[in-house]
Amino acid sequence: MIDHLRLARTEGVGPATFRKLLARFGTATAAIEALPEFARAAGRAAPLRIPAAAVAEREIEQIERVGARLLCLGRAPYPALLAETEDAPPVLTVLGDVDLLSRRAVAIVGSRNASANGRRIAESIAEDLAKAGLVVVSGLARGIDGAAHTGALRAGATVACIAGGVDVVYPPEHAALQARIGREGALVAEMPVGTEPLARLFPRRNRVIAGLSLGVVVVEAAEKSGSLITARLAVEANREVFAVPGSPLDARCRGTNRLIRTGAHLTETAEDVLAQLEFGIGQAALFERKSGLAEGLGDADISNSERSQVRAAVLGLLGPAPTGVDDLIRRCQLPTAAVLAVLLDLEIAGRVETLPGHRVALVAEPGG
């Protein structure tokens, strides 16, 4: 667990890179031992910042001190449905009932500046879903999220995914609600204990909400809303998307109405959600990983000279504009495993970044 956490907190190692490193080296310990030379060979000048074992041990002590538990990707009881997403967090901190993360769940999200009707609808749907035995997942934000958690607690269980540490209260007015969820449900965080919920962390939280759930219900969302990000992430993860229709005169409903126009399930009650899930759940395709990255990386046994040739070919074809990995492999006309191995080299070296949609791009040089 110590080395798993150290690798997860290593500079430049995001969720996708973490998974690739495990596929390539087999264990977190082996990956950590190989990383310094690995990064130098790929052209990185500055040494990688890898947390010492003592730092990881202190983080685990902090987690235990607040009564929480650390879950590691690939080890029970890490939630299997979330693990199937391509960018599943390498580690999660959970305060409360860990088993709730592995139960059938539906997310409810929406506007922070929600109307009274929107809050009432969210509470009602959440309560009825909880009565039906589903766990309700949301983000503990003002408005729709808070209403969803409140409704679910009336009849069953709820999980709150938060952007900061599990011990950091946000928003302040949800202090009592957050404490209650920690006692009766579960609080889930990707970030370390004590982390303040910065704006850049909320999209990461949104992908956890979508990944834990079989479907996402959106109640009131403006055209540019974090809830629409959650809906998009749900689509990318092969989850169902539901949207409650609203007045075209209300800006808070334009996003949900657009979701319906583009294929989301029109939803008015919990029965609409349950009917669709009963029709679609149980298909193995929902739980299958589409990406073949992990499988391909295991075959990347190439010499240093061959690696240099592949690296030169890949760098010659990449630019700052995103390129599909499959397209890159076709253009290189080189073995898939070799190209994927070199992309991992370059990612660790900070010269290439992996983007959603199985795409990569060259990282611009400072001042370039």
Tell me which of 1.10.10.10, 3.40.710.10, 3.20.20.370, 3.30.300.10 is the CATH number of domain 293-362: 1.10.10.10
75 vs 96: CA distance, rounded Å: 18
Asked if 290 contacts 358 with a C-beta cutoff of 8 angstroms, the reply is no
Domain ranges of the chain: 95-287, 293-362
- For residue range 32-67, list pLDDT tens digits in order: 998 888 777 767 777 788 999 999 999 999 999 999
Residues 6+ apart with CB under 8 A from 41: 304, 307, 345
Asked if 146 contacts 131 with a C-beta cutoff of 8 angstroms, the reply is no
Q: What is the maximum span of the chain, computed from C-alpha positions, in angstroms?
A: 65
Length of the chain equals: 368
Residues 6+ apart with CB under 8 A from 57: 2
78 vs 249: CA distance, rounded Å: 43
CATH number of 95-287: 3.40.50.450
Residue with token string 């609203």: 246
pLDDT tens digit at each of 368 positions of the chain: 899 999 999 988 888 889 888 888 889 999 999 888 877 776 777 778 899 999 999 999 999 999 999 999 989 999 999 998 988 999 999 999 999 999 999 999 999 999 999 999 999 999 999 999 999 999 999 999 999 999 999 999 999 999 999 999 999 999 999 999 999 999 999 999 999 999 989 999 999 999 999 999 999 999 888 899 999 999 888 899 999 999 988 999 999 999 999 999 999 999 999 999 875 443 333 333 233 322 333 334 556 677 788 888 888 888 888 888 888 888 887 888 788 888 887 887 778 887 766 788 888 764 44
Planar angle of CA 176, 180, 182, nearest 5 degrees: 120
Structure tokens at 60: 């685990």
Closest CA to 190 of 210, 166, 170, 157: 166
Q: What is the pTM of this model?
A: 0.79
148 vs 139: CA distance, rounded Å: 9
